[in-house]
Chains A and B, each alone.
Chain A
Amino acid sequence: MSAASNGRTATRERVTTWTGQGIPRKEDDRLVQGEGSFIDDMGMQGQGYAWFVRSPHAHARIVSIDVSPALALDGVYAVLTGEEAKSMCQEPFFRIAPGAASHIEEWPLAVGKVRYQGDAVAVVLADTRENARDAAELIEIEYDPLPAVVDGVEAAESSAPILHEEAGTNVAWNGVFNYGDIDWALENADHVVKIDRLHFHRFSSTPIEAAGAVVDWDVGSGVVTIHTNHQMPMFAAMFMGPTLGVPINKFSFSSRDIGGAFGTKIGFYPQLAALALLSKKAGRPVKWTEYRTENLLSSTHGNERTFLDIEVPVMADGTILGFKTRAYDDVGAYLHYEPLGGVIWSQVLPGCYKLKHIKVDYSATLTNKCPVSPNRGYSRMQHLWLIERIVDTVARELGFDPIELRKLNFVQPEDYPYETPNGCVYDSGDLPRSLDMALELVEADYWRARQKELGKGKGKRIGIGVGSTLDSGTNNFGQARIINPELPFSGNGEAAIAKLDLYGEVNVNLGTSPQGQGHETTAAQVAADILNVSPDKVTVSIGFEQANNSYIGFSGTYASQFAVTGLGAVMGAAQKLRDEILEVGAYALGLSKDEVELSDGVCVSKNDPSKSIPFIGIANLVYTNNAVLTPELREKVSLTCRYVYTPPFQVPDTDRKWGNLTLTYASQIHACVVEVDEETGEVKILAYAAVDDCGRRINPAIVEGQVHGAAGLGIAAALYESFDYDEDGQLMQPSFYEYHVGTALDIPHIRTSYIESPSPFTPNGAKGMGEGGGGALHAVCNAIQDTLDKDDAIVYDSHNSWERVYDLLKSGERQAPRGVSVLSRVSGS
């Protein structure tokens, strides 16, 4: 296979368009040499090192805090406690939740009570990292422990201990999503499959770089400088501003290289606020590097969701009419982005299928556990996992082939644009073909034959599973109003600036804060095509700087949208710049605008190539020689062009919980072959593949890398990674010893392929992608299911350790409850 045919070119030869080429990334030369600038590489003159003092209890009243022993230690600059931090603030953090939960007060540090193991009680500043830790240990805190609640369903019961007395309930939000007529469907279906309980477990993508910041509150100017690896800095600014009493234009946020985030670097604005106050108090810059144990205990976990009383109406031919369930999202002790997760899942309400009658009674509940916030696949993967488990369970209980059942119920290629029961519009795709491709890549026919040959009872069993999933991208933030109609949010967008600099250099900057997605490269590819230069000639600013970069309130890198919003903004800005260059060039050459074009950094006459002016000449005319221009041109042209891309959204109907919640729907179909050891429950992956359809791919190599990454994290979550709390609310996996992150030995080779179904709704036909919809969790669970006997229990949890798999294997002979039952009104199927 030649380098070009697989979408990569190792060298940058001239090609028709740069868009669509897998060119090597602009980021990589610095990163492979250790020359990236990550947060812990930054510092400021005179800085101290911060260390947070965190609660050992899951739930306790703070009786007293004595900081004097810490202050007595040499090298300690300051200690800030919760009460003092509160006294320096104007108001608690902004609350998204309506109703009772809108009364919850969260401050930068815990005040009066701690609500999870790891809740920050105080923060110390000292001259070295080591002294800060020593001092933290000397702080004497007396706690009065309270009973803890660690289960999301129990938390909703009236007997549960209440976390936030101001709210009077642990239910942060409840909403009933009801479409079609599920009662009618359940009464009239040929079969009703009932599943007692499914549980989507807690885990996190744990980027290898934890959170961090260097913060300086300059009292003289009032400017609060925050270097941080937050992935949505201006969103953090919106949360922090009113609390700290700092106007947005007195913040100076910046980031450079970010060592992964996956959504988990959105929720740490309380830490940033505490550090700002600490800096103000100590009168010096503050450097904080989150350590891994701190990260696992207190940074962010993914949403843990329990589904109860699932009922699925199915017709004799296999048509699945819909489902109903009660869902409980355990969102931990504070609401950092939640309860937005309560609506985000409904972007993919029917999954990949033409389900018509759906009712979900959803509650977000507060528990004495680490707060959750977005984690790759945020809120949708939990729901998609439910649907994939439903489809597989229906197939198994009613005797359908799981592949054929999927194909029968899929949204079909001719159905697009397809409107879901809640008003979302699936833009394009070909799910049946993607599924066939995935099966072919794992050589499913071969493994089916092996599976039959091997059978059961010979020590090893083989299972084949697929996961069909949607990666919905470009949120309509209007969906937040379904949670709280008072919220002044809707739409989405991203900003970019394209500029020709003083000597004719092309520069692009973005409102985003990438963490490995290669924005410098893809933005350069897009701008290069419009300005007709090589991507090497386009400098894309690294990271984000509030003072220089353009942004809107939604700016950042999250939720599978850059290819649409970010590159939409780059396209717009580059087109404006192109127009200005052509205008000035034409004037300089004495031609009209339509008689000139751009070619390799030069504006040239279309008819007479000897007539041209290079970009440096154009820049000269505008920046340092403008008396030769006409007054009209001087007025019109700045060579600094800002563009904000906004998708065509409307505000959803909040009463009906209805509207177009996301612009694009990339799909991923995963296929997985597992071998299960009957004696130990060990699961080994024998073959794995993912087929991606994200519309037009701007850089196929980057797209493929995102598919690998999402699959890798999903496989690790399905088999190895889980956050579990004991009944007292102690986290059982507080370090990478216990939290077993998937290694190169755990994650198999992942084969990939693709379809390109361009989105009709985006400027470039691309769809946002990257999160992957948790496809691996679905596929692995379904493959494990495939190894079990008919009288065994169903796979009921998204996490399947050896022990759990062993129990499943033995469940039939132990006559354990199967967790599923069928009511049939017709015989056979």
Chain B
Amino acid sequence: MITQSATQAIEVTINGKTYRRVVESRQLLVHFIRDTLGLTGTHIGCDTGSCGACSIIMNGKLVKSCMLLAPQADGAVIETVEGLAHDGELSALQESFRDHHGLQCGYCTPGMLMAATYLLRNNPSPSEEEIRRGIKGNICRCTGYVNIVRSIKAVADGAQLDMGDGVAKEV
């Protein structure tokens, strides 16, 4: 027989704003962020922690919010995609993704941006290999990753308009 689960009060700071809520103890953190708080920029793409669509930065670490229960975030400081732009200014990575066609459907993009933000914070000038390792937990089905890697590289190099070698050039 299933017994419906207990509830618990939690306090979480997301993008600088503190939320106090009573949650079902078994609620996933990603559902708390999306359904309870309405921050729907963080997405869900799998049920096994494999796709990274739900990636957030929690207490300075990149985590998959589908792999945590909401009560585990009690007291945590969280950053989500909604917190990347400031006063209407896109972050350098957001701008770079837009300018390098680093997204198509845009569903993986919030998680990808969080992974890339985390990567560049810890390694401001990664090699292509390091970029690929940095986003290996984030699946994109649309782009073949080429323009995502370019978008991140452009910010890392501070050279926004370096399009790499493959852009539609006549041989």
Contact = CB atoms under 8 A, between A and B. Distances in A.
Interface of A: 1, 3, 5-8, 10, 22, 24-25, 27-29, 31-36, 38, 40-41, 73-75, 128-131, 134, 137-138, 205-210, 257-260, 262, 289, 291-293, 437, 440-441, 515-518, 697, 700-705, 708-713, 715, 735-737, 741-745, 747, 749-754
A637 to B, nearest CB: 38
Interface string B102-113: 011111111001
A34 B81 contact: yes
A715 B95 CA distance: 29
A744 B48 CA distance: 18
Contacts of A259: 43, 45, 105-108
Contacts of A700: 167-168
Contacts of B163: 1, 3, 6, 8
B166 A737 contact: no
The interface residues of chain B, by DSSP majority, are classed as: loop
Contacts of B43: 38, 40, 208-209, 259
Contacts of A289: 44
Interface string B68-100: 000000000000111011000010001101110
14 contacts: A1-B169, A22-B101, A31-B103, A41-B34, A208-B53, A259-B45, A292-B48, A441-B171, A705-B142, A705-B143, A709-B142, A712-B141, A713-B144, A737-B50
A241 to B, nearest CB: 28
Contacts of A6: 163, 167-169
A776 B85 CA distance: 37
B171 A515 contact: no
Contact of A750 (B97, B136, B140, B146): B146
Among A205, A289, A749, A752, chain B packs the most CB atoms within 10 A around the CB of: A749
A34 B110 contact: yes
A753 B170 contact: yes
B101 A208 contact: no
Interface in B30-46: 31, 34, 39-46
B57 interface: no
A745 B136 contact: yes
B4 A34 contact: no
Given A518-B104, A701-B168, A708-B146, 18 more contacts: A29-B90, A33-B84, A75-B4, A134-B4, A205-B141, A207-B107, A260-B105, A292-B45, A292-B47, A292-B48, A515-B105, A705-B147, A712-B146, A735-B48, A736-B46, A743-B136, A744-B148, A744-B149
B135 interface: yes
Given A7-B168, A8-B163, A704 B105 contact: no
A35 B39 CA distance: 9
Among A32, A74, A736, chain B packs the most CB atoms within 10 A around the CB of: A32
B145 A712 contact: yes
A74 B4 contact: yes
Interface residues of B, number: 71
Nearest to A711: B144
Nearest to A49: B35
Contact of A33 (B41, B53, B104, B149): B41
A657 B101 CA distance: 42
B171 A40 contact: no
B155 interface: no
Nearest to A31: B106
Contacts of B106: 27-28, 31-32, 36, 257, 259, 516
B27 interface: yes
A350 to B, nearest CB: 27
B48 A736 contact: yes
B26 interface: yes
Contacts of B97: 28, 32
Contacts of A705: 101, 104, 142-143, 147
B85 A33 contact: yes
B6 to A, nearest CB: 13
Contacts of A751: 165-166
B13 interface: no
Contacts of A25: 98, 101
A749 B146 contact: yes
B44 A708 contact: no
Contacts of B34: 40-41
Contacts of A260: 104-105, 107, 141-142
A8 B150 CA distance: 14
A711 B161 CA distance: 24
Contacts of A8: 99, 101, 163, 167
Contacts of B31: 129
Contacts, number: 237
Contacts of B165: 751
Contacts of A257: 105-107
Nearest to A736: B50
B139 interface: yes
A130 B147 contact: no
Contacts of A24: 98-99, 101
Among A259, A715, A741, chain B packs the most CB atoms within 10 A around the CB of: A259
Given A1-B163, A207-B107, A735 B149 contact: no
Contacts of B27: 130
B80 A709 contact: no
B112 to A, nearest CB: 10
B139 A735 contact: no
B46 A744 contact: no
Contacts of A1: 163, 167, 169
Given A292-B46, A741-B141, A752 B171 contact: no
Contacts of A703: 168
Nearest to B53: A208
A34 B79 CA distance: 12
Contacts of A708: 143-147
B38 to A, nearest CB: 9
B45 A209 contact: yes
Contact of B144 (A28, A73, A702, A712): A712
Interface string B1-25: 0101100000000000000000010
Contact of B140 (A22, A33, A208, A710): A208
A334 B39 CA distance: 38
A33 B168 contact: no
A208 B98 contact: no
A262 B141 contact: yes
B161 A10 contact: yes
Contacts of A292: 45-48, 51
B61 interface: no
Contacts of A29: 90, 98
A752 B143 CA distance: 13
A709 B107 CA distance: 14
Interface in B103-135: 103-110, 113, 128, 131-133, 135
A170 to B, nearest CB: 32
A38 B51 contact: no
Q: Give me the 4 closest cross-chain CB pairs, A-B, nearest first.
A: A34-B41, A712-B144, A259-B107, A31-B106
Given A259-B43, A709-B144, A744 B132 contact: yes
Contacts of B80: 34
